[in-house]
Structure 1
Amino acid sequence: MNDIKDITCAGECAAREESAEAELLRRNRELTELNEKLSRAQEQLLQSEKLASIGQLAAGVAHEINNPISFVFSNFGTLDAYIVDLLRVLAQYEEAEPFIADPAMKARIGALRKQVELDYLVEDVPVLMSESREGIERVRKIVQDLKDFSRVDGHQDWQWVDLHHGIDSTLNIVNNEVKYKADIVKEYGAIPEVECLPSQINQVILNIVVNGAQAISGVRGRITIRTGCDGANVWIEIADNGSGIPKAIQSRIFDPFFTTKPIGSGTGLGLSLSYGIIQKHHGRIEVQSEPGVGSTFRIELPIQQERDPDAGAEGP
């Protein structure tokens, strides 16, 4: 009888040990998963802070560049007026040249005219001035777009902004990434100003446009940006005719660290951060894609953010 009790007790102990071991393994798995989630969250936070730092750096650099560009641009206006006056004086001298009595002086002036190709200079100087002014204006525009794109301040205040202006600034910033691969087509609708964090929305546009350009290979492609208003929301669609996204992974593209790019070519955080930004704005971001045809990302944003009574004065 005692043997039977011993066997029963041993079986119960073994069962308890197995149960405890299984529970320990389960908790170990949960802790491992939790640790991985915390690591991913930390990586996302670091990436967000890095983007904010880059934005602050870009805004600072843009400010520093803008100062010398401003006085160079101002000097160009004065220099342009001076050149016009000098050319007027030169024209009067040319008219007086036939009346020079000294043959030797007249010959030296004629030789110098040919040496410096005066007629060509008179035609080319205004052209060079015009092209230089255009170049400086383009630099000023790029600097301004960089400032608009960054739009970083200490509090990241919610602002009422023109989304079209932000999109245009962003497109100018990513022009070098896109211009060799695709044409940009804008189909803007009538939309009101939207309450948002503009630098973050600009970052979302940048991520999607750059991804669209990278999905285009071979024949020159097209990226179409449409906007419109639907009741209390505005929407932005960014469509490309690139390689598309396979159906099997479409549900994962907003997951942190998920990427189809080669190792070292992407962090897998761009679309994940974009998703988080749109969620922070109480909006939606969706994708429709067909392999070999292209992808369309649709962003919906509320025109005005709902106020949280407990959020204080900082915003939604």
Structure 2
Amino acid sequence: MTNNDTQVGSNPANLLNQIDHPLAVHLLQTEKMAGIGQLAAGVAHEINNPVGYVFSNLKTLAGYMQDMLKIIDATDHVESMGELHQLKKALDYDYIRQDVPALLRESEEGMDRIKHIISALKYFSHTDDDSFRLADLHQSIESTLTVAGNEIKYRAQVIKQFGVLPPVQFNVSQINQVVMNLLINAAQSIENSGMITLRTNQDGAWVWFEVEDTGCGMTAEIQQRIFEPFYTTKPVGQGTGMGLALSYGIVQKHNGRIDVFSRVGHGTRIRVWLPVHQPNF
């Protein structure tokens, strides 16, 4: 960490960081729904793309089936094998035989892609509002990355450097929201094309995950305020100023902490620490 980097570890004195407070619960749900709304068009595009070529493949396969039925029906009334060969040649039988497996394989891949996106959406929107349970932190990161994929892929290349993690006791829905906020902030800090690096590791009784970007970075003054509710440096319409404030409250509820390292023009790295096991559970 250089002299221009700032580590944030103190709790901003604000009611909204008491994540169990009814107002914070309401705002957390509102922020989550706003995030899903923001990503809805991107998720729709991600699903619509494989749906499009699966639908196209089905239409092609339907045409092939009609041609194959003509060949099969012809076997009942052709007078010679020569006539049958001519029909098969006219209907491009050899090409159909080669193309059908490729169409089926591509369609299967498309359906697997859709299944993967839906599975990630279900995991991301997990409704275990108040429950801490042993879960796979990497699965949370991966599912959130899938949901946010369309928001990120046109701005940055994503690199994953994952360590070996044990099952961690956390609230899946809430930590997914933290990951989402960090990913979207990282993507929006990159003006043209850049890089977002996701890292995880374990340090004794703690695990951590971090999101590092090659974006614009932050001044020390901005870093001191990023966890304040309603504070945002984004243009109107691009942020509520609640994402990081609520993320801070979530991490506090998990008895964890958030460290921020940033330099103007050199990007930002935000690390979230969580205990492997929650006290009193």
Q: Same fold (TM over 0.5)?
A: yes
Partner of 1:248: 221
1:139 aligns with 2:119: no
Letter in 1 for 2:97: V
Identity across the alignment (%) = 42
Q: 1:42 to 1:159 in 2, by over 3 A?
A: closer
Letter in 2 for 1:248: E
- When Rg is computed on C-alpha atoms for both structures, the one with the higher figure is 1
Alpha-carbon distance in structure 2 between the residues aligned to 1:53 and 1:196 = 21
Aligned residues: 234
8 Å contact kept, 2:163–2:201: yes
Partner of 1:106: 83
Q: CA RMSD in A?
A: 3.2
What do residues 97-119 of structure 1 show as CA deviations (whole Å, max 9, x unaligned)?
Answer: 9xx7548x717x614632x3222
The answer for unaligned runs of 5 or more in structure 1 is: 1-36, 58-78, 308-315
Letter in 1 for 2:211: I
Question: TM-score scaled by structure 1?
Answer: 0.66
What do residues 221-241 of structure 1 show as CA deviations (whole Å, max 9, x unaligned)?
Answer: 111111111111101111001
Letter in 1 for 2:102: V
Shift of 1:245: 0.9
8 Å contact kept, 1:44–1:269: no
Alpha-carbon distance in structure 1 between the residues aligned to 2:87 and 2:120 = 50
1:188 aligns with 2:188: no
- Please show how residues 1-316 of structure 1 align to structure 2 within 5 Å: 44-51=24-31, 101-102=79-80, 106=83, 110-111=86-87, 113-114=89-90, 116-153=91-128, 156-218=130-192, 220-307=193-280
The answer for unaligned runs of 5 or more in structure 2 is: 1-13, 38-57
Question: TM-score scaled by structure 2?
Answer: 0.74
What do residues 253-297 of structure 1 show as CA deviations (whole Å, max 9, x unaligned)?
Answer: 000000001122210000001000000000001211001100000
8 Å contact kept, 1:189–1:229: yes
Q: 1:296 to 1:55 in 2, by over 3 A?
A: closer
Bigger fraction of residues in helix: 1
Alpha-carbon distance in structure 2 between the residues aligned to 1:290 and 1:148 = 34
Bigger relative contact order (CA 8 A; separation at least 6): 2
Alpha-carbon distance in structure 1 between the residues aligned to 2:197 and 2:182 = 12
Q: 1:142 to 1:162 in 2, by over 3 A?
A: same
